[in-house]
Amino acid sequence: MAAAWEELANKYGPTHEDVLIGEVDCGRWPGYDNVTKIGIPSMCSIHGIKEYPTVRAFSPFFGLHGMNYSGESEPEPLNAFLEKQLTKICKVTQGDQGYVASAVCSTQDANYMHQWGQKSPVQVETELKRLKTVFFKAVNEQIETTKHFEWMGHRINILKQLNRLAPPQEAKDEL
């Protein structure tokens, strides 16, 4: 299975905007079945990993514990699984009349995109930083409601895309 994941990691690479492939060996972590030496629940116990290998996809859309993958361990089915998950992500493009939401975007996503598409790049970047802070605080404190994570993930995704599509800022003349 490691070879299949390495092949996918090479395909998607470290700069892919929606996919990051990583590995944790729960058998090597101290306290992998319960708590670490300093009393903090281990990553493996937090996520309920009890059998190996366990393959999970993590995204703000899947909540704190991710989504299990139980298909074949060859590159093609793993890639198909990732591609299927990626098609569920709302995409924002630049059209002739402004920003356009893809067909998978909900009405709520499209409304949010239009609202924030009218803002300056600085405002979008500020809101993106704020939402990421709130999101990671919730993750660290293990506060989870599925709706909270899903909508937070959608907003972060939309703002990242608006930020990337924004025209470059013109330099201000200093007096």
SS3 content of the chain, % helix, strand, coil (to 5): 45, 10, 45
Q: Where are the beta strands (DSSP E) in 72-150?
A: 92-95, 98-101
162-168 contacts at long range (C-beta below 8 A, 24 or more positions apart):
162/92, 162/99, 162/113, 162/116, 162/117, 162/124, 163/121, 163/124, 163/125, 163/128, 165/92, 165/93, 165/94, 165/99, 166/121, 166/124, 167/121
Say which residues have a Cβ less than 8 Å from residue 75's Cβ, sequence separation at least 6: 4, 7, 8
pTM: 0.63
Torsion of CA 168, 169, 173, 175, to 10 degrees: -160
Q: What is the pLDDT along the chain (175 residues), one digit of tens a residue?
A: 778 878 888 887 776 777 777 777 776 655 545 555 555 556 677 777 777 777 777 665 666 667 778 888 888 888 888 888 777 788 899 988 889 998 888 899 999 999 999 999 999 999 999 988 887 777 666 555 556 667 787 888 899 889 888 877 654 444 4
- How far is CA 6 from each of CA 20, 75, 86, rounded to the nearest angstrom? 12, 9, 19
Note whether 116 and 127 are within 8 A (CB).
yes
